[in-house]
Amino acid sequence: MKQEIPGNPMSEVFQNATRFNDDPDATIFLRYGKPTWYLRILQKPGWKRGTHWSLKTKNKDEAIIEAKKKYQDVIGINQTLKNSLFNAEDVKIATLKKGLGRICEDKFKNLMMVKGYQVYTPVEDIWGSDFIISKDGKNFERVQVKSTAQTGKMSFHLMTNHTDKQLYKDLVDYMAFISIMDDVIWLVPVKDLPDKTGMSLSELKKDYEKFKVTYRI
């Protein structure tokens, strides 16, 4: 379905805005009257802002075809994460002692894959790494994941529980901290971690805001 949108207040920028499906937030348009068509999607739940992409064609019919493909790719990924990282069923499972780690590690793995990482799992976690991640398949980084379903005072361990105790910052490249009740994942380079054996959830919230991992278009 194609529908021209009259009276667009941003008509100088978004010219010839045309809907191509049933989503009123999605249009194709010509930018400043230039011949190349663009796809624009307004802000969706969980997004920081709306955005647009060049469709790399001057032909409107081709632009509609490409827009439908791009829309499906973008919205399909967005639906993978919905409006939150953890749903009610995840939270329920996480209240089980063994369920928390599995749910959080699976969510971390899926989020990293959505963000373009290759994710590998060691056969055994005897060297402190829960995952190995790579953006390019050439450079690999080790990640230790810690999670909690608590909402009050608690601390994440920054040291192994092996007989020969070691700080994780001497063993891995990143630590991922997951608070399922806060619906937040932090991915912190170990060089930014304090030289101590534990760190509280409140400290993480206060001082490590920039290390939150979110899905962004």
| 217 pLDDT more than 50 | no
Of residues 45 and 208, the one with the higher pLDDT is 208
Check residue 69 and give its pLDDT.
Answer: 85
Mean pLDDT of 70-82: 65
Q: How far is Cα 23 from Cα 14, in angstroms, rounded to an integer?
A: 17
Same domain, 95 and 176: yes
State the average pLDDT for the chain. 82
- Final residue of a structural domain among 36, 59, 81: 81
Mean pLDDT of 72-82: 61
Per the structure, the count of domains in the chain is 2
Q: What letters, b where the CB count within 10 A reaches 16 and e where it falls short, cover 170-183? A: ebbbbbbbbbbeee
Mean pLDDT of 103-119: 85
Structural domain boundaries enclosing 58: 3-81
| 115 pLDDT more than 60 | yes
Same domain, 95 and 198: yes
pLDDT tens for 89-100 read: 555 555 555 567
Check residue 91 and give its pLDDT.
Answer: 58
- Final residue of a structural domain among 42, 57, 81: 81
| Structural domain contains residue 12 | yes
Out of 148-157, 163-172, 173-182, least confident range: 148-157
Q: What CATH number is given to the structural domain containing 137?
A: 3.40.1350.10
Mean pLDDT of 195-203: 93
Mean pLDDT of 15-20: 91
Of residues 161 and 204, the one with the higher pLDDT is 204
Report the share of the chain in percent with pLDDT over 70.
Answer: 81
Banded model confidence at residue 77, pLDDT cuts 50, 70, 90: low
Same domain, 14 and 103: no
Check residue 2 and give its pLDDT.
Answer: 47
Same domain, 92 and 77: no
Of residues 19 and 182, the one with the higher pLDDT is 19
Same domain, 128 and 171: yes
